[in-house]
């Protein structure tokens, strides 16, 4: 069951590659739109310490679009550590290992907060960095099966690196709460 879910995620993400668009941050006050096809090269070329909050979120979706979903695998812990802070990466990794190939806490794709993907109008918004310079929010918008959706990525900066600390799905639901409530 989990395997067919993952195959569906990969297939639907391929559709996103063909039809989707996202904005890419080039300067703090200016953005431009590019197809998601151009994101993997841009995300891979920046050193992790130099990546902005926007680049972290965009890089996560780029990896996902290549079929490398960090949540549903137990071979590459580094995939989680590349994007998420240690505590959230630990929750995701422990859930994947404990579920032993079955559905764990995540019965949905957390990058879209859905089970069935038919994504259009995909955009990664510019980062909203707090005055302290240590936390940020990046809003991702898209339509899934015609319904508008918005997810807010919360990031923190530690040791000069930005990492995702949570994903706010709305209505009081977050990725972290999903993992914690399943334990």
Residue with the larger pLDDT of the pair 150 and 21: 150
Q: What percent of the chain has pLDDT over 70?
A: 72
Secondary-structure breakdown of the chain: helix, strand, coil percentages, each rounded to the nearest 5: 40, 35, 25
- The 10s digit of each residue's pLDDT in 87-142 is 999 999 999 998 877 777 888 999 999 988 899 999 999 999 999 999 999 999 99
Distance CA 16, CA 164 (A): 22
Average pLDDT, rounded, for the chain: 77
Architecture of domain 2-181: Roll (3.10)
Tokens of 151: 């997810």
CB 22 within 8 A of CB 61: yes
User: What average pLDDT does range 45-54 have in this prediction?
Assistant: 64
- Give the model's confidence band at 183: pLDDT under 50 very low, under 70 low, under 90 confident, else very high: low
**What distance in Å separates the CA atoms of residue 39 and residue 54, rounded to the nearest whole number?**
12
pTM comes to: 0.74
Which residue do the tokens 């089970």 mark?
115
Query: How many other CB atoms are found less than 10 A from the CB of residue 162?
Result: 27
């Amino acid at each position: 069951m989990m395997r067919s879910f993952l195959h569906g995620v990969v297939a639907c993400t391929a559709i996103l590659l063909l039809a989707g668009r996202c904005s890419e941050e080039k300067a703090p006050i200016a953005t431009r739109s590019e197809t998601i096809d151009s994101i993997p090269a841009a995300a891979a070329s920046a050193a992790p310490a130099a990546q902005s909050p926007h680049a972290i979120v965009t890089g996560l979706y780029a990896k996902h679009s290549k079929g490398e979903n960090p949540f549903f695998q137990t071979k590459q812990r580094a995939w989680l550590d590349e994007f998420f802070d240690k505590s959230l990466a630990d929750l995701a990794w422990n859930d994947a290992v404990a579920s032993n190939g079955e559905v764990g806490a995540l019965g949905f794709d957390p990058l879209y907060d859905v089970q069935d993907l038919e994504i259009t109008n995909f955009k990664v918004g510019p980062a909203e960095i707090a005055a302290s310079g240590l936390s940020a929010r990046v809003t991702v918008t898209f339509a899934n099966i015609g319904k508008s959706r918005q997810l807010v990525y919360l990031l923190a900066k530690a040791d000069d690196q930005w990492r995702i600390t949570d994903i706010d799905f709305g209505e009081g639901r977050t990725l972290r709460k999903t993992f914690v409530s399943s334990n």
